[in-house]
Amino acid sequence: MRVLAAMSGGVDSAVAAARAVDAGHDVVGVHLALSRAGGTLRTGSRGCCTIEDALDARRAADLLGIPFYVWDFSERFRDDVIDDFISEYRAGRTPNPCMRCNEKIKFAALLERALQLGFDAVCTGHYATLVDGPEGRELHRASDEAKDQSYVLGVLTADQLAHTYFPLGTTPSKAVVRAEAAERGLTVAQKPDSHDICFIPDGDTRGWLAEKVGAEQGDVVDREGSVVGRHEGAHAFTVGQRRGLQLGVPAADGKPRFVLEVRPVSNTVVVGPKEALATAEISGERHSWAGRAPADGVFACDVQIRAHADPVPARASVRDGSITVVPETPFDGVAPGQTAVLYDGTRVIGQFTIARTVSAVPQSA
């Protein structure tokens, strides 16, 4: 195949590109410049897509003997990822920018350009497995459960999967990838993994949002609507949060309280007991299927609501394009804006953005 290898400057994408070369494919490396004002240097393991990362990617490509380019996707990234992140927080939801980046940038904008240029597939260093099933290509979990990234790839469609290549999917562990990188002489062999949100490299999400969204004081209320504190900006709170609430009125039972809901219209944060975070039902929008769409009706599946959460057995109902999921045991601390990925065993069925949640604990409880 003619393969376009997306090279972030990290060890995973470098080894993935190397394996594509070893497999005999015609490989070209590309680094995506996602920021017009990218930092020159990383700080530890924070951020990515810096000038340093671009140079690391180029050095890896040179060692592999493949052509290398840097493509400026900063405007598309700003529109589809950063602006979406801001608008979701303004609406009181909790977005996942990595999902949007995979959906809109790496496997939409990048893949679209790759196909236009005559490439057969885009190769990345994601840990996930592709299986050619009876109804087309399927997306499955990686062999290494600790590194599995099928959740953040759940936004991929059947057409995108048909032109995707994940050489690391069957690798037993990240240690094996680092050892292979060192053996190949790749300078990124021991480079720290990227964490946090790439466009907020200092990790201060609250401060960054305050600057973008604006901080306005408001009330913190309990489930009955009684004011129990004040906040400096509702955008700084997420469902399930316990620390930093600064409540002036203690709970009657003396137990800690957690954020249950963020109401942007009234600039109000709702808090309550931990048990009130239990969620008996979720429903959603912006759905997609990693293969043939399931027929309208009810089917059994496993549902994962965070990148590192355990999957929960559930019943999903699809009717007229709407999706509702009822777990066998309640989810814990679900927030609108999160992504729910549906699985059949190790296979990804599809995903949706959570728009509505139903508490498992009545308000009077």
The residues assigned a catalytic role are 101, 198
DSSP helix/strand/coil, 228: strand
Q: Give CA separation, 189 vs 31, 186, 192, 212, in Å.
A: 18, 6, 9, 36
Query: Could you give the CA distance from residue 44 to residue 258 in angstroms, rounded to a whole number?
Result: 31
DSSP helix/strand/coil, 17: helix
Query: Could you give the CA distance from residue 193 to residue 188 in angstroms, rounded to a whole number?
Result: 10
Specify whether the CB–CB gap between 285 and 353 falls below 8 A. yes
User: Which secondary structure element, helix H or strand E, spans residue 98, and what is its range?
Assistant: helix 97-101
Contact partners, residue 107, CB within 8 Å, separation at least 6: 122, 155, 156, 160, 164
Specify whether the CB–CB gap between 294 and 349 falls below 8 A. yes
Query: Could you give the CA distance from residue 93 to residue 284 in angstroms, rounded to a whole number?
Result: 13
Amino acid present at 148: D
Q: Give CA separation, 109 vs 160, 251, 353, in Å.
A: 11, 50, 21
According to DSSP, the β-strands at 2-6 and 121-123 are parallel
Specify whether the CB–CB gap between 344 and 301 falls below 8 A. yes
Q: Output phi, psi for 289, to 5 deg.
A: -125, 135
The residue among 237, 242, 277 whose CA lies nearest residue 256 is 242
